């Protein structure tokens, strides 16, 4: 088994097809590597029971990111746009198979070190995912003051306990 995916068998010339068409036409059902990976996920308990169509779409996206089906880099957003363009205008509702692409398109992708470096150097740090800008001042209100008494140190507690015992003994001696 090779890590490269075989071209789907199509009646037209596959060199004419663009990468998105080649990905959409790819036969995941007959790909042994994909099927073995899906089976190992099922056996490993990654899904509760049988995988749903959404789970299978996630696996297709994983296959897309791990191994280039088309020989070109394509993103889940491009696949979603392509699949939506194939739909009839009357078909407005998104199907379950495209909802997984939509959920992935809102997630931040992992940037490479070179991309991060370029963003930092050009001052676009606000576009770095999970990078929160910390303001200079958190709170303009004055700090509150504690009303709790200061805790006594261990030797102060021991001395205070002895003094209290002495006072109690003195009171009991005076009472008798």
Could you read off the pLDDT of 5-29 as tens digits, one per residue? 444 444 444 455 677 777 777 787 8
Q: What is the pLDDT of residue 158?
A: 73
Q: What is the pLDDT of residue 121?
A: 94
Instruction: Report the half-sphere exposure of 165 (CA within 13 A, side-chain side).
Output: 6
Low pLDDT (below 50) residues in the chain: 1-14, 70, 92-94, 96-98, 100-102, 104-106
Q: What is the pLDDT of residue 122?
A: 93
Q: What is the pLDDT of residue 117?
A: 92
| Rounded Cα–Cα distance for residues 78 and 21 (Å) | 11
Q: Is 114 exposed, middle or buried (0-12, 13-18, 19+ CB in 10 A)?
A: exposed
- The answer, as to whether pTM is greater than 0.75, is no
């Amino acid at each position: 088994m090779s890590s490269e995916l075989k071209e789907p068998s199509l009646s037209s010339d596959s060199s004419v097809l663009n990468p998105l068409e080649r990905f959409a036409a790819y036969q995941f059902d007959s790909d042994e590597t994909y099927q073995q990976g899906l089976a190992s996920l099922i056996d490993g308990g990654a899904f509760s029971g049988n995988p749903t169509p959404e789970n299978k779409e996630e696996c297709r996206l994983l296959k897309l990111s791990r191994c280039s089906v088309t020989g070109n880099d394509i993103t889940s957003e491009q696949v979603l746009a392509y699949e939506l363009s194939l739909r009839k205008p009357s078909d407005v509702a998104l199907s379950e198979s495209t909802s997984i692409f939509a959920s992935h398109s809102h997630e931040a992708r992992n940037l490479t070190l070179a991309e991060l470096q370029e963003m930092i150097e050009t001052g676009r740090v606000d576009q770095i995912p999970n990078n929160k800008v910390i303001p200079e001042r958190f709170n303009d209100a004055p700090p509150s003051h504690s009303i709790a008494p200061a805790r006594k140190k261990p030797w102060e507690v021991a001395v205070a306990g002895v003094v209290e015992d002495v006072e109690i003994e003195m009171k009991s001696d005076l009472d008798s």
